[in-house]
């Protein structure tokens, strides 16, 4: 690949939290994209350190497993899962890589990460035919955009193409045209039901800990310039939970 040529694929570090504490069915889930990379090796490294980057320690979990530290015959969390963790209260964390074509030709920095405040169009598919309570579902990145406006416009047509129209679905609802209270959450823009019963939810989400917009809890909500002092398991996004870290020692 030429030096100035955009790579063919983007590698998204995807974190899904299934909240068994609040909902024993497993249908209540939160999926976020923690980072986007143009280098697969770097993306895998970021995936392995993703929970530490959010400020979690291994000791926070009653169970913590990584695929590269587990015998392949003993790994029970699926081929796509790189890290699995279970909190004492019952929430389960899964870290995966979502590989997608680099349609808009994003380029990575020297470290192989796409910088900026990215916005993602996420499509969640729930198959109630196979599981009436909604526990069988998956969320994928349908598009990556540099602006929220571009992501919103793309989300409106994420389920449509030259052959698939709104009329192709048994039910098709758009948030901006919906009458009454929208029941699918603030980030969801489109909800549709296929003729065979699958439910589709199209949402727009930004990275939860953008470098440009992160606010530190230790500084009254102001932008934090502290960095975690731990070299191993350091907190990339400055939400440090280490009691002896400088970020927690300082008062502002």
pLDDT digit string (tens) for the chain, length 252 residues: 556 789 999 999 999 999 988 888 778 889 999 999 999 999 999 999 999 999 999 999 999 999 988 888 889 998 889 999 999 999 999 999 999 999 999 999 999 999 999 999 999 999 877 666 656 789 999 999 999 999 999 999 999 999 999 999 999 999 999 999 999 999 999 999 998 889 999 999 998 865 433 333 333 333 344 444 443 344 444 445 444 454 444 443
User: Do 121 and 167 belong to one domain?
Assistant: yes
| CB-neighbour burial class of residue 73 (10 A; exposed 0-12, middle 13-18, buried 19+) | exposed
User: Do 121 and 175 belong to one domain?
Assistant: yes
- For the chain, helix (H) and strand (E) counts, in that order, are 4, 10
CA of residue 111 relative to chain centroid, distance: 20
Angle at 208 between CA 91 and CA 176, to 5 degrees: 100
Instruction: Write the CB contacts of 83 (distance below 8 Å, at least 6 apart in sequence).
Output: 47, 48, 50, 51, 64, 65, 66, 67, 93, 94, 95
Give the domain range for residue 25: 1-103
User: Do 193 and 206 belong to one domain?
Assistant: yes
User: Do 208 and 243 belong to one domain?
Assistant: no
| Residue 133 in domain | yes
Out of 52, 72, 103, pick the residue that ends a domain: 103
| Residue 67 in domain | yes
Angle at 250 between CA 32 and CA 47, to 5 degrees: 25
| Residue 109 in domain | no
């Amino acid at each position: 690949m030429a030096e100035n040529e955009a790579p063919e694929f983007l590698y998204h570090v995807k974190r899904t939290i299934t909240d068994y504490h609040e909902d024993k069915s497993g249908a209540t889930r939160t999926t976020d994209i923690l980072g986007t990379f143009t280098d697969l090796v770097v993306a895998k490294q970021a995936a392995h350190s993703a929970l530490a980057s959010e400020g979690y320690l291994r000791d926070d979990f009653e169970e913590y497993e990584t695929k590269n530290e587990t015998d392949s015959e003993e790994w029970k969390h699926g081929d796509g899962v790189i890290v699995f963790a279970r909190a004492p209260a019952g929430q389960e964390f899964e870290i995966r890589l979502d590989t997608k074509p680099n349609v808009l030709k994003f380029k990575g920095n020297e470290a192989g990460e796409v910088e900026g405040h990215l916005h993602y169009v996420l499509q969640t598919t729930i198959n109630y035919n196979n599981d009436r309570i909604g526990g069988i579902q998956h969320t994928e990145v349908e598009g990556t955009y540099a602006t929220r406006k571009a992501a919103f416009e793309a989300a409106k047509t994420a389920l449509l193409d030259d052959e698939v129209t709104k009329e192709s679905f048994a039910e098709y609802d758009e948030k901006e045209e919906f009458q009454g209270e929208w029941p699918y959450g603030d980030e969801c823009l489109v909800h549709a039901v296929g003729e065979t019963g699958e439910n589709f939810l199209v949402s727009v989400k930004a990275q939860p800990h953008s470098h440009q917009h992160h606010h530190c809890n230790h500084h009254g909500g102001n932008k934090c310039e502290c960095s975690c002092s731990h070299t191993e398991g350091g907190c990339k996004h400055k939400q440090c939970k280490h009691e002896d870290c400088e970020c927690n020692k300082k008062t502002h």
